[in-house]
Structure 1
């Protein structure tokens, strides 16, 4: 019942999250020493409850010269709204000349190579679009076979925001942010349908990735949702610096009944048809799983697993920048890599969270949960026999440094993997680079965090107990010279005189920057609040902002009621009608209480909380009485003139969910899901009288249908 969901939310809000206590189990029955460190050395961190300031860009993308506020472009010729694939491509083309600075995506875009069906003239015009190569072993997803997959290069572009106010979806294309792109912001978008069943099972048959930051600098990806892809989620290559990925949701929960239009359903249905018609070889992974007893629905749930998440640094060979014969420095070396991962949710991702070569990574308040996949794999004999999935976190290589602050790892068997000394882990390196990097010390650190897996639960730091704890189960120490000795970065001695095309033959010597400070301060929610907060706000359509507010980079923490145009899920508001100046009200908390307008804005009767519903929709929870009722359309009616009421919540009920339509003037329409957005909340007969009824009516953006959300802390 939705009622229970709401009561749980309010209980947490009023009472606070439970204090986490646990035994410190390591599989051998040992008990760890007390935590020796609770914050990352040489950082400035503020622990605080979630507020609007968490919407601000944080981390490396926030530094001077990073991403820019583009809210001033609303209503100008630099602002482009697109609803079709051609309009999107044209906007990207115009962004190269600087004539477009903002692209608002107002509809879902299918950008596959075949569905684009560009003419020869268009192929020349939009030469930044290319066909993605086919999978090595052929297609197992009929939709992708029919529509194809595209690569879309964003290049020669300085200053561009791509976003959606409604959480639109981009399908069948990889965005590739090239080195000639700078100051790129991507917000409130869904990315989907870049996956198919890999019948070999090695996740290497095709490189489909939702976004590749291929040398671009100063990139902020925020409040986006990424389903599973065939290769990476968002990868970083060629020396990109100034990167922040925040409030994003990566991956899927295991589900035996995925939507019939999902990539998983389509691909597994295709494989099942081949299986039942005896078209699969005995070497087929699908064949083996079915023969061992797994059902198609179990395999659908199993498929909600993404092997590789964030590759940061494409190869060992990129150890310094490439400089051509004319002295041009391409700034593409791995030593430049700088990324912040903040407030992200990861579901059933196998590894590379993140994996970094030479560069620097910083994680804040990330929630990594692999439990639904790992539980499935461990409970179904067919999966046990035919698959061994990884459940790993960070992996610093070639002298890289990665530090995680106040994060939660659930079902992750190895939060840290790799080796302290690179020479201990060279099996996947060419002999030349294994020799050159063998003396590099890798730094991984987790502080003020919690891990729960089959070995138990531990809360603390990866340096606790002399580095032996649940965080370090997958990490191989060498001499523990990096223990309790943090360096934010390293550098190869003499690198300025080295050539990328003619590397030396003797092993590199490294310098470690022990006094370097993290170049920005940051906020984090307390550890007990991480799971609830990140689940509530990460992903697309989790906060509702006006177009102007989505284009900002800094947000205020004002505790006084404001009439700004941002509406955040989880926050409290008084909702004022533009025509009457009066407030939406539920006079009592009894089920069936009809909604009216009132001038009184001091009582709980006119206070509402916004709670996330289905994607793009919200529930409006009345704070009167027990604060357990939501706005409800009596009898699930779609008739004009029906007076709305409050009632106990029902999960997924379309008669209790609403879309907040941004009117672009600081006001919103409150549109009903059940009408498909054609009807909205309306003060009957445009009345300004106290107690006038609030009804549903065909939406025309008239003053009595416009509402201002006044934030109340």
Structure 2
């Protein structure tokens, strides 16, 4: 009997002695480590780490998230998201769909009839149906656009924290951290027809899952962003163009600066990441300094990323193009005055995609690359681009005018490929 009591006592003692690190780690007050990319420059990025207890929130629905965001205020705050939050809900939590936002007589059928290029021509849409579309779009934007202010940390709790249908927008804000969160399906109910885009015209959508606009000192880490639920490839074709419902997964524009994106996963999307929004936005010179490391781009058609003006350090990332990809265009886009320093990235593609397809240039000329693996074999993306480009693209030079100094350990492409496959994305925070 004494022996049994001794065993029980030892067992209880063992339970009391479980090391603290075995418990779930609270990442909400963690700050960006020193030297971890461009966001570590000029004082680093701390997000809401200084928040007092009154400004630490755990939210489970849209209403709670909106209250915590406080209209994008600069008050230091920590917001913990638990479970799935659907941005397309009313104040009582009832689900809203596109019909609930429709107003002023808008209908897609009438819109298509009004602006058919064969009768309307190439002019920008105007008149009652375009006005009704704008009014309907404004009603949806009121629900799904979620402003994030300075000195804010947003983290997902556990492995299943999701923001669905929302567009987190960090606009003219500084010092923001977003981690361990799945951002899914920023679905636009009311795309606009732009007849003069791309020669044939195109559909333009309004919402990125995460949009940094004039934002500085931002750390995005262990997020998963995708169109999960409503893939654009299943949308119909109108005016001979795919009726797009999604914009970017993560766009970094309008003079944003000092950004680090790490250990994140971008998947099942067309235009994944735009850095710099226009060839004429010369005010972006000296800004758009971004580090992308240990990220996975899977089933992404293009823009992984496409860069204008910025000094972008692209290292230890993993690219996966699926075997059934029929619309893949490129991964790295070299655009006006961009300066991309790419190191030790790994690409996996089916046989019909060539290494020459991985890089595309528009007006840009600077790409440093080293240590690249293409389906397990080393390649020189610069040399291949210059040898095989279509003639409509300019030759690239390896002189990008700068050398990265702020970075974590840079592994071989082979080692990073394995680590990213295991560790990138929401729910996998180390």
Normalising by structure 1, we get a TM-score of 0.42
Query: Any idea what the Cα deviations from partners look like across 1:535-589, whole Å, max 9, x if unmatched?
Result: 111011113xxxxxxxxxxxxxxxxxxxxxxxx4xxxxxxxxxxxxxxxxxxxxx
Partner of 2:384: 468
Which stretches in structure 2 are left out of the alignment for 5+ residues?
A: 1-31, 94-100, 112-136, 194-199, 228-244
Query: Any idea what the Cα deviations from partners look like across 1:401-422, whole Å, max 9, x if unmatched?
Result: 1121111111254111115xx2
Shift of 1:186: 0.3
Q: Does 1:307 align with 2:270?
A: yes
Take 1:245 and 1:338, find their aligned partners in 2: how far apart are those partners?
11
Q: Does 1:87 align with 2:64?
A: yes
1:154 to 122, 144, 147: 147
Which stretches in structure 1 are left out of the alignment for 5+ residues?
A: 1-54, 119-130, 140-144, 253-305, 321-332, 378-388, 423-440, 488-513, 544-567, 569-713
Take 1:342 and 1:234, find their aligned partners in 2: how far apart are those partners?
14
Take 1:308 and 1:95, find their aligned partners in 2: how far apart are those partners?
27
Native 8 Å contact 1:319 1:335 kept in 2: no
Query: Any idea what the Cα deviations from partners look like across 1:365-392, whole Å, max 9, x if unmatched?
Result: 1111112332xx4xxxxxxxxxxx1331
Take 1:308 and 1:209, find their aligned partners in 2: how far apart are those partners?
10
Take 1:132 and 1:361, find their aligned partners in 2: how far apart are those partners?
41
Take 2:339 and 2:278, find their aligned partners in 1: how far apart are those partners?
17
2:254 to 233, 238, 255: 238
Query: Any idea what the Cα deviations from partners look like across 1:306-360, whole Å, max 9, x if unmatched?
Result: 221111111223112xxxxxxxxxxxx3541111111011111111111111222
> In the superposition, relative to structure 1, how do residues 82 and 196 fare at CA in structure 2: closer, same or farther (>3 Å)?
closer
Native 8 Å contact 1:334 1:357 kept in 2: no
Native 8 Å contact 1:341 1:364 kept in 2: yes
Take 1:479 and 1:541, find their aligned partners in 2: how far apart are those partners?
41
Shift of 1:477: 8.8
Take 2:293 and 2:407, find their aligned partners in 1: how far apart are those partners?
13
Partner of 1:183: 175
Q: Aligned ranges for residues 284-295 of structure 1 at < 5 Å?
A: none
SS at match of 1:392: coil
Shift of 1:88: 1.1
Native 8 Å contact 2:80 2:156 kept in 1: yes
Q: Aligned ranges for residues 677-688 of structure 1 at < 5 Å?
A: none
SS at match of 2:66: helix
Take 1:479 and 1:109, find their aligned partners in 2: how far apart are those partners?
46
Partner of 1:165: 157
Native 8 Å contact 1:158 1:183 kept in 2: yes
SS at match of 2:54: coil
> In the superposition, relative to structure 1, how do residues 160 and 138 fare at CA in structure 2: closer, same or farther (>3 Å)?
farther
Partner of 1:115: 90
Q: Does 1:446 align with 2:409?
A: no
Partner of 2:115: none
Q: Does 1:403 align with 2:380?
A: no
Take 2:307 and 2:333, find their aligned partners in 1: how far apart are those partners?
6
Take 1:67 and 1:402, find their aligned partners in 2: how far apart are those partners?
23
Q: Aligned ranges for residues 195-344 of structure 1 at < 5 Å?
A: 195=187, 204-228=203-227, 230-252=246-268, 306-320=269-283, 333-344=284-295
SS at match of 2:408: strand
Shift of 1:182: 0.5
Take 1:475 and 1:525, find their aligned partners in 2: how far apart are those partners?
33
Partner of 1:390: 328
Native 8 Å contact 1:445 1:461 kept in 2: no
**The 10-residue stretch of structure 1 (182-191 or 86-95) with the greater mean CA deviation from structure 2:** 86-95
Q: Aligned ranges for residues 3-82 of structure 1 at < 5 Å?
A: 56=33, 58-68=36-46, 73=51, 76-82=53-59
Native 8 Å contact 1:358 1:401 kept in 2: yes
Q: Does 1:416 align with 2:359?
A: yes
Take 2:74 and 2:336, find their aligned partners in 1: how far apart are those partners?
39
Native 8 Å contact 1:350 1:391 kept in 2: yes
Shift of 1:237: 1.3
SS at match of 2:220: strand
Partner of 2:114: none
Native 8 Å contact 1:313 1:334 kept in 2: no
> In the superposition, relative to structure 1, how do residues 88 and 195 fare at CA in structure 2: closer, same or farther (>3 Å)?
closer
Take 1:202 and 1:373, find their aligned partners in 2: how far apart are those partners?
27
Shift of 1:169: 0.5
Take 1:138 and 1:519, find their aligned partners in 2: how far apart are those partners?
56
Take 1:476 and 1:447, find their aligned partners in 2: how far apart are those partners?
24
SS at match of 2:360: strand
SS at match of 2:331: strand
Native 8 Å contact 1:109 1:170 kept in 2: yes
Q: Aligned ranges for residues 289-688 of structure 1 at < 5 Å?
A: 306-320=269-283, 333-374=284-325, 377=326, 389-411=327-349, 413=354, 414-419=357-362, 422=363, 442-452=365-375, 458-463=377-382, 467-468=383-384, 473-474=388-389, 483=397, 485-487=398-400, 514=401, 516-543=402-429, 568=430
Native 8 Å contact 1:367 1:409 kept in 2: yes
Native 8 Å contact 1:207 1:232 kept in 2: no
Take 2:319 and 2:390, find their aligned partners in 1: how far apart are those partners?
18
Take 1:165 and 1:94, find their aligned partners in 2: how far apart are those partners?
22
Shift of 1:206: 1.9
Take 1:135 and 1:175, find their aligned partners in 2: how far apart are those partners?
27
Number of positions where the alignment pairs a residue of Structure 1 with one of Structure 2: 332
Shift of 1:195: 4.5
Take 2:258 and 2:102, find their aligned partners in 1: how far apart are those partners?
28
> In the superposition, relative to structure 1, how do residues 334 and 138 fare at CA in structure 2: closer, same or farther (>3 Å)?
farther
Shift of 1:94: 7.2
1:104 to 72, 75, 80: 80
Native 8 Å contact 1:153 1:178 kept in 2: no
The CA RMSD measured in Å over matched residues stands at: 3.6
Take 1:207 and 1:188, find their aligned partners in 2: how far apart are those partners?
24
Native 8 Å contact 1:238 1:334 kept in 2: no
